[in-house]
Amino acid sequence: MEKKTIEKHKGVDPKKRNFVLVGVGIIVLILLVAQFTTPKRSVAAYCDVYKEERARLAKFPGDTWPSGVFNDELSDAGEFVTSFDRLEKVAPDDIKNDVETLRSLYKKMKDDPSSAIAASLSGAGAESSVKNWTKEHCGVDLR
């Protein structure tokens, strides 16, 4: 029986075998890197991302779409969607849902500007919650 197994493996082309082994090794490496580089939810991570996003948003012009969380107004609501998406990935559990709500509301405003008033009214509680939490935990001045 061992002879059959050995003979069977002798018939495998070494190049194909090496190719498969390298492929499996690359997949394992990618999974390990993804596991260790995914952002962790924490106050420090949230505050770091918040400060980066606030600085990024400050470079954009506009006065159409306001955000109390970022203390800014922009012409493109999509930029707020991007920022809230990045914040949602690291937001601690106590504000994660509110950040997620704000992201979806700004996405709705971006996709359908006529829904802006209704969306902004429905997001007032989430915005207040995230704004107050951010002021308290990140030490930023938000009016």
> Which residue type sits at 105?
L
At 53 the pLDDT is 94
Pair (10, 60) in one structural domain: no
Distance CA 85, CA 62 (A): 20
- DSSP conformational letter for 40: P
Q: What is the extent of the structural domain holding 50?
A: 43-138
At 15 the pLDDT is 77
Q: Is 122 helix (H, G, I), strand (E, B) or coil?
A: helix
At 89 the pLDDT is 94
Q: Check: CB of residue 67 under 8 Å from CB of residue 78.
A: no
> Which residue type sits at 100?
E
At 136 the pLDDT is 92
Pair (64, 133) in one structural domain: yes
At 114 the pLDDT is 85
Pair (131, 97) in one structural domain: yes
- pTM > 0.75: no
Pair (70, 50) in one structural domain: yes
Q: Are strands 72-74 and 65-67 parallel, antiparallel or unpaired?
A: antiparallel
At 7 the pLDDT is 56
Q: Check: CB of residue 87 under 8 Å from CB of residue 53.
A: yes
Pair (58, 91) in one structural domain: yes
At 120 the pLDDT is 73
Please give the span between the terminal C-alpha atoms of the chain, in angstroms, as a whole number: 79
Pair (77, 131) in one structural domain: yes
Pair (104, 131) in one structural domain: yes
Pair (30, 47) in one structural domain: no
Spans of the chain, pLDDT less than 50: none
Pair (53, 108) in one structural domain: yes
At 122 the pLDDT is 79
- For residue 143, being part of any structural domain is answered with no
